[in-house]
Protein backbone atom coordinates (compact mmCIF):
# COMPACT_ATOMS: atom_id res chain seq x y z
CA UNK A 1 0.00 0.00 0.00
CA UNK A 2 1.34 3.45 -0.91
CA UNK A 3 1.52 5.52 2.24
CA UNK A 4 2.11 9.23 2.63
CA UNK A 5 3.39 10.06 6.12
CA UNK A 6 3.16 13.74 7.07
CA UNK A 7 4.91 15.02 10.19
CA UNK A 8 4.37 18.56 11.49
CA UNK A 9 6.76 19.50 14.27
CA UNK A 10 9.62 22.04 14.08
CA UNK A 11 11.98 20.08 16.36
CA UNK A 12 13.69 16.96 15.03
CA UNK A 13 14.21 15.66 18.58
CA UNK A 14 10.50 16.00 19.37
CA UNK A 15 8.23 13.23 20.55
CA UNK A 16 6.26 13.62 17.32
CA UNK A 17 9.33 12.80 15.21
CA UNK A 18 10.10 9.81 17.41
CA UNK A 19 6.53 8.52 17.07
CA UNK A 20 6.64 9.05 13.30
CA UNK A 21 9.91 7.10 13.04
CA UNK A 22 8.45 4.23 15.05
CA UNK A 23 5.24 4.25 13.00
CA UNK A 24 7.07 4.24 9.67
CA UNK A 25 9.29 1.34 10.78
CA UNK A 26 6.18 -0.59 11.85
CA UNK A 27 4.27 0.09 8.62
CA UNK A 28 7.27 -0.76 6.43
CA UNK A 29 7.58 -4.09 8.29
CA UNK A 30 3.98 -4.75 7.18
CA UNK A 31 4.82 -4.02 3.52
CA UNK A 32 3.75 -0.37 3.22
CA UNK A 33 5.68 1.81 0.75
CA UNK A 34 6.12 4.97 2.81
CA UNK A 35 6.93 8.45 1.54
CA UNK A 36 7.77 10.87 4.34
CA UNK A 37 6.79 14.53 4.07
CA UNK A 38 8.26 16.63 6.86
CA UNK A 39 6.44 19.95 6.43
CA UNK A 40 9.06 21.93 8.36
CA UNK A 41 12.07 20.30 6.73
CA UNK A 42 10.60 20.91 3.27
CA UNK A 43 9.89 24.55 4.16
CA UNK A 44 6.26 24.14 3.18
CA UNK A 45 4.51 27.50 3.13
CA UNK A 46 1.12 27.27 4.86
CA UNK A 47 -0.06 30.54 3.34
CA UNK A 48 -2.75 30.22 0.70
CA UNK A 49 -1.70 32.60 -2.09
CA UNK A 50 -4.00 35.17 -3.68
CA UNK A 51 -3.72 33.31 -7.02
CA UNK A 52 -4.70 30.04 -5.38
CA UNK A 53 -7.69 31.60 -3.64
CA UNK A 54 -8.84 33.41 -6.80
CA UNK A 55 -8.77 30.09 -8.66
CA UNK A 56 -10.83 28.17 -6.07
CA UNK A 57 -14.04 28.46 -8.09
CA UNK A 58 -12.46 28.61 -11.53
CA UNK A 59 -12.39 25.60 -13.87
CA UNK A 60 -8.77 24.92 -12.84
CA UNK A 61 -7.25 25.50 -9.41
CA UNK A 62 -3.82 27.18 -9.62
CA UNK A 63 -1.64 24.34 -8.33
CA UNK A 64 1.58 25.66 -9.88
CA UNK A 65 3.33 25.87 -6.49
CA UNK A 66 1.86 22.59 -5.19
CA UNK A 67 2.28 20.02 -7.95
CA UNK A 68 4.42 17.59 -5.94
CA UNK A 69 2.32 17.82 -2.76
CA UNK A 70 -0.97 17.35 -4.64
CA UNK A 71 0.47 14.41 -6.60
CA UNK A 72 1.63 12.77 -3.34
CA UNK A 73 -1.83 13.17 -1.80
CA UNK A 74 -3.62 11.85 -4.89
CA UNK A 75 -1.39 8.76 -5.08
CA UNK A 76 -1.73 7.87 -1.40
CA UNK A 77 -3.74 4.82 -0.45
CA UNK A 78 -2.83 5.35 3.19
CA UNK A 79 -2.19 8.65 4.95
CA UNK A 80 -0.42 8.97 8.30
CA UNK A 81 -0.48 12.30 10.12
CA UNK A 82 1.71 12.93 13.17
CA UNK A 83 1.50 16.32 14.85
CA UNK A 84 1.15 18.10 18.17
CA UNK A 85 -2.25 19.48 19.07
CA UNK A 86 -1.70 23.12 19.99
CA UNK A 87 -4.58 25.12 21.52
CA UNK A 88 -6.83 22.19 20.59
CA UNK A 89 -6.13 22.69 16.91
CA UNK A 90 -3.64 21.87 14.18
CA UNK A 91 -0.18 23.42 13.94
CA UNK A 92 -0.43 26.30 11.43
CA UNK A 93 1.80 24.49 8.93
CA UNK A 94 -0.50 21.45 8.87
CA UNK A 95 -3.64 23.59 8.63
CA UNK A 96 -2.00 25.36 5.69
CA UNK A 97 -1.24 21.99 4.05
CA UNK A 98 -4.95 21.16 4.27
CA UNK A 99 -5.93 24.63 2.97
CA UNK A 100 -3.59 24.50 -0.01
CA UNK A 101 -3.12 20.82 -0.94
CA UNK A 102 -6.64 19.51 -0.29
CA UNK A 103 -7.73 21.68 -3.18
CA UNK A 104 -10.72 21.80 -5.54
CA UNK A 105 -10.33 19.54 -8.54
CA UNK A 106 -7.85 17.37 -6.64
CA UNK A 107 -9.23 16.50 -3.21
CA UNK A 108 -12.86 17.40 -3.99
CA UNK A 109 -15.09 19.01 -6.62
CA UNK A 110 -17.35 21.99 -6.13
CA UNK A 111 -21.00 21.58 -7.13
CA UNK A 112 -22.03 23.84 -10.00
CA UNK A 113 -24.68 25.42 -7.75
CA UNK A 114 -22.20 25.80 -4.82
CA UNK A 115 -24.03 23.03 -3.00
CA UNK A 116 -22.39 20.00 -1.42
CA UNK A 117 -18.91 19.15 -2.66
CA UNK A 118 -18.03 15.68 -3.97
CA UNK A 119 -14.93 13.66 -3.08
CA UNK A 120 -11.95 13.15 -5.39
CA UNK A 121 -9.50 11.21 -3.21
CA UNK A 122 -10.71 7.85 -4.50
CA UNK A 123 -7.43 6.02 -3.82
CA UNK A 124 -7.29 6.99 -0.15
CA UNK A 125 -8.40 3.93 1.84
CA UNK A 126 -7.20 4.73 5.35
CA UNK A 127 -6.03 7.62 7.50
CA UNK A 128 -4.04 7.03 10.66
CA UNK A 129 -3.51 9.95 13.02
CA UNK A 130 -1.16 10.33 15.97
CA UNK A 131 -1.27 13.52 17.99
CA UNK A 132 0.34 14.66 21.22
CA UNK A 133 -1.40 16.91 23.72
CA UNK A 134 -0.22 18.56 26.90
CA UNK A 135 -3.69 18.37 28.42
CA UNK A 136 -5.34 15.40 30.12
CA UNK A 137 -7.78 13.26 28.15
CA UNK A 138 -10.88 14.59 29.88
CA UNK A 139 -10.29 18.19 28.73
CA UNK A 140 -10.09 17.11 25.07
CA UNK A 141 -12.97 14.64 25.24
CA UNK A 142 -15.41 16.03 27.80
CA UNK A 143 -14.84 19.79 27.67
CA UNK A 144 -13.94 20.41 24.02
CA UNK A 145 -15.49 17.30 22.39
CA UNK A 146 -12.35 16.37 20.42
CA UNK A 147 -12.30 19.21 17.87
CA UNK A 148 -9.29 17.92 15.92
CA UNK A 149 -10.78 14.45 15.53
CA UNK A 150 -14.14 15.84 14.41
CA UNK A 151 -12.57 18.15 11.81
CA UNK A 152 -10.44 15.36 10.38
CA UNK A 153 -13.12 12.68 10.32
CA UNK A 154 -16.21 14.69 9.44
CA UNK A 155 -15.04 17.78 7.56
CA UNK A 156 -11.96 16.62 5.64
CA UNK A 157 -12.46 12.90 5.13
CA UNK A 158 -16.23 13.15 5.01
CA UNK A 159 -15.99 15.64 2.15
CA UNK A 160 -12.98 14.31 0.23
CA UNK A 161 -13.14 10.49 0.51
CA UNK A 162 -15.61 7.62 0.30
CA UNK A 163 -15.48 4.81 2.81
CA UNK A 164 -12.06 5.77 4.15
CA UNK A 165 -11.06 4.03 7.40
CA UNK A 166 -10.05 6.43 10.15
CA UNK A 167 -8.02 5.70 13.27
CA UNK A 168 -6.74 8.35 15.69
CA UNK A 169 -4.51 7.89 18.69
CA UNK A 170 -4.00 10.77 21.11
CA UNK A 171 -1.10 10.84 23.58
CA UNK A 172 -2.31 12.97 26.48
CA UNK A 173 -0.12 14.74 29.07
CA UNK A 174 2.76 14.21 26.67
CA UNK A 175 4.96 16.97 28.10
CA UNK A 176 5.46 15.02 31.33
CA UNK A 177 5.54 11.52 29.81
CA UNK A 178 8.04 8.99 31.10
CA UNK A 179 10.03 6.77 28.75
CA UNK A 180 7.93 3.78 29.78
CA UNK A 181 4.69 5.65 28.96
CA UNK A 182 6.07 6.61 25.54
CA UNK A 183 7.06 3.02 24.80
CA UNK A 184 3.63 1.80 25.91
CA UNK A 185 2.10 4.26 23.46
CA UNK A 186 4.38 2.97 20.67
CA UNK A 187 3.09 -0.54 21.41
CA UNK A 188 -0.46 0.80 21.13
CA UNK A 189 0.39 2.29 17.72
CA UNK A 190 1.77 -1.06 16.59
CA UNK A 191 -1.31 -2.88 17.82
CA UNK A 192 -3.81 -0.47 16.22
CA UNK A 193 -1.93 0.25 12.98
Please give the full DSSP string across 117-173, using - where no structure is assigned: -EE--TT--EEEEEEE-SS-HHIIIIIS--HHHHIIIIIIIHHH-SS-EEEEEEETT
pLDDT-derived band at 145, boundaries 50, 70, 90: confident
Residues pairing with 169 in the sheet: 130
pLDDT-derived band at 170, boundaries 50, 70, 90: very high
**pLDDT value at 59 more than 80:** yes
| Residue 191, SS3 per DSSP | helix
Compute the distance between CA of residue 81 and CA of residue 173 in angstroms, rounded to an integer.
19
Compute the distance between CA of residue 180 and CA of residue 174 in angstroms, rounded to an integer.
12
Residue boundaries of the structural domains of the chain: 2-192
Question: Quick one: fold of 2-192?
Answer: Rossmann fold (3.40.50)
pLDDT of 100-120, one tens digit each?
A: 999 999 999 998 887 889 999
pLDDT of 83-98, one tens digit each?
A: 999 999 999 999 999 9
- In eight-state DSSP terms, residue 186 is H
- The DSSP-derived string for 24-85 is HHHHHHTT-EEEEEETTTTT------HHHHHTTTSSS---TT-HHHHHHHHH-SEEEEEEE-
Indicate the angle between helix axes 67-75 and 92-101, nearest 10 degrees: 80
Q: Can you give the pLDDT at residue 137? A: 86
Q: Can you give the pLDDT at residue 111? A: 87
Sheet with 126-132, edge to edge strand ranges? 33-38, 2-7, 78-84, 126-132, 165-171
Q: Can you give the pLDDT at residue 96? A: 98
pTM equals 0.95
Amino acid sequence: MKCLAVVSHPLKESLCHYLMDQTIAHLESKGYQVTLLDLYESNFSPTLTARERHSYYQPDFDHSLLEQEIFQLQQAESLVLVFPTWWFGFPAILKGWFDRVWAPGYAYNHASDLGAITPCLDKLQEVKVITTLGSPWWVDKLVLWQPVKRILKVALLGACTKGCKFEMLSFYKSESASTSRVESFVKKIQAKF
